[in-house]
């Protein structure tokens, strides 16, 4: 697994709340209350953006996946946090990473989502 981003919030996330929020926002879920995957569509493709095992996390490989995870986090009233303590959020229509006082903009949310899951090259 690659670099992990975690959805964190003060109150535990119940599966029922997760399922309700995902359904309203157009995401899909495959699995059970104990373990599963959060899916998002782009065109005719359905892609995994996060894993559920009582907690929600993902290992994005594209700006599109980061944007989708940031959307889910915002919808849940949570923060999206990386392994190094940085956070990812949507602010004023921009997807950004914040680490201390430094911020990196991935780009406009609508443009990232429209472009789709172009995998990062290493």
**What local confidence, expressed as pLDDT, does residue 8 receive?**
95
Q: Does residue 121 form part of some domain?
A: no
Q: Does residue 122 form part of some domain?
A: no
Q: Does residue 92 form part of some domain?
A: yes
**What local confidence, expressed as pLDDT, does residue 3 receive?**
86
Rounded CA gap, 1 and 100, in Å? 26
Rounded to 5 degrees, φ, ψ at 45 are: -95, 145
* Predicted confidence band of residue 1 (pLDDT cuts 50, 70, 90): very low
Pair of tokens at residue 69: 């995870």
Rounded CA gap, 66 and 46, in Å? 16
Q: What is the pLDDT of residues 47-74, one digit of tens each?
A: 999 999 999 999 998 999 999 999 999 9
Q: Does residue 69 form part of some domain?
A: yes
Q: Does residue 120 form part of some domain?
A: no
| Count of domains observed in the chain | 1
Q: Does residue 81 form part of some domain?
A: yes
pTM strictly above 0.95: no
The whole domain housing 89 covers 5-115
């Amino acid at each position: 697994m690659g670099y992990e981003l975690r959805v964190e919030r003060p109150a535990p996330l119940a599966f029922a709340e997760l399922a309700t929020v995902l359904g309203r926002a157009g995401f899909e879920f495959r699995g059970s209350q104990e373990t599963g995957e959060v899916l998002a569509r782009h065109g005719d493709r359905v892609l995994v953006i996060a894993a559920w095992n009582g907690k929600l996390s993902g290992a994005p490989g594209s700006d599109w996946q980061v944007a989708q995870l940031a959307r889910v986090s915002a919808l849940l009233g949570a923060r999206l946090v990386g392994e190094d303590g940085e956070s990812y959020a949507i602010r004023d229509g921009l997807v950004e990473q914040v680490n201390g006082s430094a911020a990196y903009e991935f780009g406009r949310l609508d443009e990232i989502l429209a472009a789709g899951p172009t995998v990062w090259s290493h």
